[in-house]
Amino acid sequence: MSIIMAVKGLKEEIERVLITPEEIAARVRVLGQEIARDYRNGAAKDPYGRPLLVVGILKGAIPFLADLIRAVDLPLEYDFMSVSSYRNGTSPGEVRIIKDLDRSISQRDVLIVEDIVDTGNTLDHILRLFRARAPASVRVCTLIDKPVRREVEVPVHYVGFTIPENVFVVGYGLDYAELYRNLPFIGVLKREIYEEARVANR
Ligand code: IMP
């Protein structure tokens, strides 16, 4: 990808906006209310009654998590985990921990916050890792669900938006080659951006 492209202005590289900042904000408010209601009404299983632990999966979940936690009217803590998925050159069977959680999740109520569930492979591996650490409960909240590409069934309790088509989306944390995460909306990249990057990476 050329430097010129990056300084040109990100919005010029978007073919269409799928979800506006206003739609995101409205949906995040509703999700926050649902989560607070559920954990007040039986979803919390921690035998010691400790606060909900929200775990953001780096880096894509950052903007979503930052907005979501402020919409959840509950005592909560948050932590982050970074994993390398197969998109970074590994096979679908492999997910490596790049940054682990700071604290134990044993007997805690954990809410995993993801940017997008696509094939489901990454989340499936994360869930296995988490369950091996014996939390009291695990739920998943994803900003975007792309069920058309699912290869592994994964339990997702809270979904921001379902995208019914197979499109690659960027913005509000979602990237293409580490760019576009700072767009305030979620959109589809112009085709020539992919093509140009493919040629440059040859
Ligand atoms: P999965 O393992 O196929 O479910 O993919 C999970 C990861 O792939 C996500 O956490 C994203 O980093 C990336 N990904 C999948 N689809 C998209 C997309 O449309 N835009 C940006 N990243 C995506």
What DSSP assignment string belongs to 15-79?
EEEEE-HHHHHHHHHHHHHHHHHHHHTT----TT-PPEEEEEEETTTHHHHHHHHTT--S-EEEE
- Residue 202 has what pLDDT? 47
Active-site residue numbers?
A: 118
Q: Ligand 1: which residue has its CA nearest to atom 11? A: 116
Q: Ligand 1: which residue has its CA nearest to atom 16? A: 118
- pLDDT confidence bin for 118, thresholds 50/70/90: very high
Distance CA 151, CA 174 (A): 21
Provide residues with CB under 6 Å of ligand 1: 60, 85, 87, 115-123, 168-170, 174
What is the rounded average pLDDT of the residues 2-9?
Answer: 56
What atom in ligand 1 is closest to the CA of residue 86? 2
Residue 17, CB half-sphere, CA atoms under 13 Å: how many? 13
pLDDT in tens, 25-61: 999 999 999 999 999 999 999 999 999 999 999 999 9
* Residues facing 68 on adjacent strands: none
How far, in Å, is the centroid of ligand 1 from the Cα of 22?
Answer: 23
Angle (CA) 101 106 108, round 5°: 90
Indicate whether 109 pLDDT > 90: yes
Q: Is there a contact between 111 and 52 (Cβ–Cβ < 8 Å)?
A: yes
Q: Ligand 1: which residue has its CA nearest to atom 3? A: 119
Q: Is there a contact between 121 and 86 (Cβ–Cβ < 8 Å)?
A: yes
Distance CA 107, CA 133 (A): 9
Distance CA 197, CA 112 (A): 32
What is the rounded average pLDDT of the residues 162-168?
Answer: 93
Q: Mean of the per-residue pLDDT values for the chain?
A: 91
What is the rounded average pLDDT of the residues 65-76?
Answer: 98
The model's pTM? 0.91
Of the listed ranges 36-40, 85-89, 147-151, the least confidently predicted one is: 85-89
Indicate whether 152 pLDDT > 90: yes
Beta strand pairing call for 169-170 and 76-84: unpaired
What atom in ligand 1 is closest to the CA of residue 120? 4
Q: Ligand 1: which residue has its CA nearest to atom 19? A: 168
How far, in Å, is the centroid of ligand 1 from the Cα of 13?
Answer: 19
Indicate whether 8 pLDDT > 80: no
What atom in ligand 1 is closest to the CA of residue 92? 2
Structural domains in the chain, CATH included, are: 22-162 (3.40.50.2020)
